[in-house]
Each structure stands twice: as C-alpha cells, then as structure tokens.
Amino acid sequence: MEAHFTEWLNLGVRWIHMITGIAWIGASFYFVWLENNLNRSNPREGLSGDLWAIHGGGIYHLEKYKLAPPKMPENLHWFKWEAYFTWLSGVALLLVVYYLNPSLYLVKPGVDLAPAAAIAIGLGSMALSYVIYHFLCDSPLGKRPALLGAVLFVLIIAAAYGFSQIFSGRAAYIHVGAIIGTIMVGNVFFTIMPAQRALVKAIEENRTPDPVLPAKGLLRSRHNNYFTLPVLFIMISNHFPSTYGSQYNWLILAGIAIAAVLVRHYFNTRHDSAKYAWTLPVGALAMICLAYVTGPKPMPTAPEQAAAKVQYQPLPETALGGKTAAEKAAEQAANPAPAATPAEAPATATAAADSGNFDKIHSVIQERCTVCHSAKPTSPLFSAAPAGVMLDTPQQIQQLAPRIQAQAVASQIMPLGNITQMTQQERELIGAWIAKGAPTN
C-alpha cells in the first residue's frame, strides 16, 4: 500500500509540475516573441510599438508602452503564480522521487555519503546558485551579456560535474535542473515582480517610473528564456540512459545545453534577420555528434573486463526484505571467502562461453532484476513494475534485450543503486549473451 501511495503521490505532483510548467514556459515564450515582433516604426506617442495578430478566429491588437500608460487600467493581469507553483511542485517532486529514497535514487553507488548529507548538498546548491547568479548579474559583468552567459554556463557545467561525482546520473541531471529552475523563479520573485510593482506604484502616485528596474526585469526575463530549453531536456532526460548514464554525462549535458541555447537564439532573433540562421543546423549537427559518441561500445577484452570491476555500496537493510547488511557482514565474518587467486583474473573470459546458456542468463535476471521488474514485484518500493518493464518470461527478456544492454551493461545504471548487488561478471555475461543475438534456446 505504501508503494502504491508513493506512486500516486509521484503522479499527482509530477502532473501539477507539468501543468504549471507549461503555463510558465508558454507565457515566457509568448512574451519574448511579442517583444521581438512589435512594430516599432512610427509608434503612437507614448508607445514603443504595437502588433496585430490573429488566433482562434479573432483578431487582436496589442500595444506596448515605453514605460506605462498615463493612467493605470482597472484590470491588470500579472504573470507570477505559474513560476511559483512550477518551482514549488518541482521541489516537492524532488522530495518524493529522490529524497524519500536517497540510497536508491540519489547517492551514486560506491560513494560513501550519508543520505542526510546528500540531501543537504542538493538543497544547499539550489540556494547558493541563486546567490552567486544574482551577484554576477549585479556586478560589472552584468553589463556584458555574452561574457556573463559564458561564465554562467561554465559554472553550471562545473556543478554538473560535481554532482556526477556523488549523485547517480539521474539525480545529477535533475539537480542541475533544480539549480536552473531556482535561478529562474528567483528572477521572477526578486527582480521581475519588484520591478513591475515599482512601475505600477509610480503610475498610481503620478510619478515618472524609474526605467532601471524594468530594464533589469527584461534582462532577467531573457535569461529565463534561454534557460528554458536546457531545463526541458533535463525534465525528460530520465528516459535516455545513454545521456545521464554515461561516464561523461556532464559533458553530454553541456553539449545538449549548447544545442538548446543555439536553437532558442534562432527563434529569439529570426524576426530581425537571417543572421543567426546557422544556429539551427549547428544545433542539429551537435545532437547528431552526441548521438554518435554516446553509442554502444564493443565488448571489452577479458583483461579490460577484469580491470574494470566496479565496487558498489551494500544492499540497503530493508530494501528487499532479506537479510540486513549487519547480518550479512556477520555471516561473511564467520565464513570468510577464500583468498583471490591469479586464476580469477581471466574468469571474465568465460562470460562469452557461458552466454550461450540461457538458463544462466535467466537466473541472473530473475535474481537481480525481477524483484522490481515483474508483474508482481517483491520489492516493497514498487507496487507495479517501473515503466511497465517486466522480465518474467524468456520472451520478455529477449524482447527487452536492447534496453537491458543500455541500462544494465553499458551505462550500469540498473539496478537502481545496484540494490540487488549485480556483479560485474554478471553484467559481462548478459552483455556477451546480447552480443550473440540474445538467444533463448
């Protein structure tokens, strides 16, 4: 029942996050488009431009004042709650998905980091990121937009690299998204909204508005606009293990972010000229190159496999309802394993030979994977198979062999947190079986 409740809590919060995010991003895109497409030739006195548009069977006429109208209208629509609820629901989703099960989703396997410390790093990085960003924007660097953008990009990618050293790939990506999202909502709360309130107050008091604050608000709004596409990718990145599951996931994120910014820049400037038309093909080429370099690699040789053995953190005590870590440690102390011998080094070479025996493959998958990926998961963490992936039958295993290769062999992001302690030799065995065409007979 607890797993079922958590799943529906995840669904509810994620749905709210998606709805409010669409509203915020849609408004952001629209107003940037509106600003870029205003007719600024011979505007009416007091205006900076106007625009005629048709949509949904109606014709609209929109006007933008240089600062404000002589008299404040009775009904003035504000755009803020979309941003606030997107951030609040995002933090709630971070809590439900990552912080409730930090050993499973948050901390990188093999990293000795207490869950509380990992959560503190995640939350602290969000707050610190906005403080640094705000300081840079108000510094002399803020008057040089291109240089400021480059510095911000380097800092964000540095954060991605740091996260990748202590967090799982998925968690590292989502925390980069949380940093950017915090900066974006901070822009709305601390800069854009105060500037708008000051503008309205000046009009109500019959004073000439200060143009400095609206200019700051417009700058931060443009920053948010460029942040949007990288954040959108991060929101869907958990579906693509070849990105976050790579050893160089932070570099892949950097490449995708650059491509996204190039695409956004084209749409922000295409009204003016075709000067930046090159950004679209360059962005597309960047994605093609990333697809190539993140492609599956050939199976390593036996010596390479032996040298690449990975150590994972112990099985969480209550994760699968089996023996606790303390009980296993006591059992190992009472029955120590025999010392390693030189003959073990080439042991992985037998993976290719054993891979022809599907019974061994089936046994590994039943022991390491079906605790979660089954019609009836035995793990208390899930009431149904995650993503609907079930590996109960030979036919299901064979059909899903490419996904098994991507997630359990190539990127090794599955099992999550290596909760079932899949060994390197077992991964190699599965990889060799898939390389043979995944036979089941």
Name which of 150-164, 185-199, 325-339 the model is least confident about.
325-339
Last residue of a domain, one of 205, 221, 241: 241
Name which of 233-242, 263-272, 336-345 the model is least confident about.
336-345
State yes or no: pLDDT of 96 exceeds 90: yes
Last residue of a domain, one of 219, 241, 263: 241
State yes or no: pLDDT of 416 exceeds 90: no
Residue 371 belongs to a domain:
yes
How far apart are the C-alpha atoms of 113 and 28, rounded to whole Å?
A: 39
Query: Mean pLDDT across the stretch 220-226?
Result: 92
Residue 62: in which H helix or E strand, if any? strand 58-65
Residue 403 belongs to a domain:
yes
Residue 264 belongs to a domain:
no
Query: Mean pLDDT across the stretch 93-111?
Result: 89
- The predicted structure's pLDDT at residue 365: 93
- The predicted structure's pLDDT at residue 308: 44
pLDDT grade for 273, boundaries at 50, 70 and 90:
confident
- The predicted structure's pLDDT at residue 316: 46
Q: Mark whether 142 and 14 lie in a shared domain.
A: yes
Query: Mean pLDDT across the stretch 297-323?
Result: 46
Look up residue 22 and give its two tokens.
């669409």
Query: Mean pLDDT across the stretch 292-301?
Result: 68
Residue 280 belongs to a domain:
no
Q: Mark whether 208 and 352 lie in a shared domain.
A: no
Residue 424 belongs to a domain:
yes
Q: How far is CA 173 from CA 44, 55, 192, in A?
A: 48, 37, 27
Distant-in-sequence, close-in-space partners of 21: CB < 8 Å, separation ≥ 6: 86, 90, 235
Q: How many domains, in total, are found in the chain?
A: 2
State yes or no: pLDDT of 381 exceeds 90: no
Domain range for 421: 302-321+347-435
Look up residue 285 and give its two tokens.
């080429």
State yes or no: pLDDT of 326 exceeds 70: no
pLDDT grade for 311, boundaries at 50, 70 and 90:
very low
Look up residue 146 and give its two tokens.
């291109």
Residue 130 belongs to a domain:
yes
- The predicted structure's pLDDT at residue 139: 93
Residue 174 belongs to a domain:
yes
How far apart are the C-alpha atoms of 50 and 282, rounded to whole Å?
A: 33
Closest among 184, 176, 48, 172 to 118, alpha carbons compared: 172
Q: Mark whether 234 and 373 lie in a shared domain.
A: no
- The predicted structure's pLDDT at residue 40: 93
pLDDT grade for 184, boundaries at 50, 70 and 90:
very high
Q: Mark whether 231 and 378 lie in a shared domain.
A: no
What one-letter code names the amino acid at 146?
A
Q: Mark whether 351 and 236 lie in a shared domain.
A: no
Q: Mark whether 123 and 35 lie in a shared domain.
A: yes
pLDDT grade for 331, boundaries at 50, 70 and 90:
low
> 439, exposed or middle or buried, with CB in 10 Å at 0-12, 13-18, 19+?
middle
Q: Are 204 and 144 in contact (CB under 8 A)?
A: no
pLDDT grade for 95, boundaries at 50, 70 and 90:
very high
111-126 pLDDT, tens digit per residue, is 899 999 999 999 999 9
State yes or no: pLDDT of 45 exceeds 70: yes
Classify residue 409 by its DSSP letter. Answer: I
Distant-in-sequence, close-in-space partners of 133: CB < 8 Å, separation ≥ 6: 152, 183, 186
**CA–centroid distance for 241 within its chain:** 11
In this prediction the pTM is 0.77
Of 47 and 2, the one with more pLDDT: 47
Q: Mark whether 212 and 310 lie in a shared domain.
A: no
Q: Mark whether 202 and 309 lie in a shared domain.
A: no
- The predicted structure's pLDDT at residue 241: 83
Kindly report the average pLDDT of the chain as a whole number: 85
Q: Are 304 and 348 in contact (CB under 8 A)?
A: no
Residue 295 belongs to a domain:
no
Of 154 and 57, the one with more pLDDT: 154
State yes or no: pLDDT of 309 exceeds 60: no
- The predicted structure's pLDDT at residue 231: 96
Closest among 185, 228, 164, 201 to 79, alpha carbons compared: 185
Distant-in-sequence, close-in-space partners of 439: CB < 8 Å, separation ≥ 6: 356, 358, 433
pLDDT grade for 73, boundaries at 50, 70 and 90:
confident
Query: Mean pLDDT across the stretch 115-142?
Result: 95
- The predicted structure's pLDDT at residue 191: 95
> 27, exposed or middle or buried, with CB in 10 Å at 0-12, 13-18, 19+?
middle
| One-letter-per-residue 3-state SS of 44-61 | CCCEEEEEEEEECCEEEE
C-alpha dihedral sign at 139, 140, 143, 144: negative
Phi, psi of 172 (to 5 degrees): -60, -45
- The predicted structure's pLDDT at residue 312: 37
Of 151 and 315, the one with more pLDDT: 151
The percentage of the chain sitting over the pLDDT mark of 70, rounded to a whole number, equals 86
- The predicted structure's pLDDT at residue 5: 86
Q: Mark whether 222 and 360 lie in a shared domain.
A: no
Classify residue 416 by its DSSP letter. Answer: G
Q: Mark whether 22 and 118 lie in a shared domain.
A: yes
Q: Mark whether 134 and 225 lie in a shared domain.
A: yes
Last residue of a domain, one of 192, 221, 241: 241
334-357 pLDDT, tens digit per residue, is 555 444 444 444 444 455 556 568
Name which of 1-5, 308-312, 366-370 the model is least confident about.
308-312
- The predicted structure's pLDDT at residue 313: 41
Helix then strand then coil, in percent of the chain rounded to 5, is 65, 5, 30
Q: Mark whether 32 and 134 lie in a shared domain.
A: yes
Indicate the SS3 state at residue 64.
strand
**CA–centroid distance for 281 within its chain:** 24
Q: Are 405 and 427 in contact (CB under 8 A)?
A: no
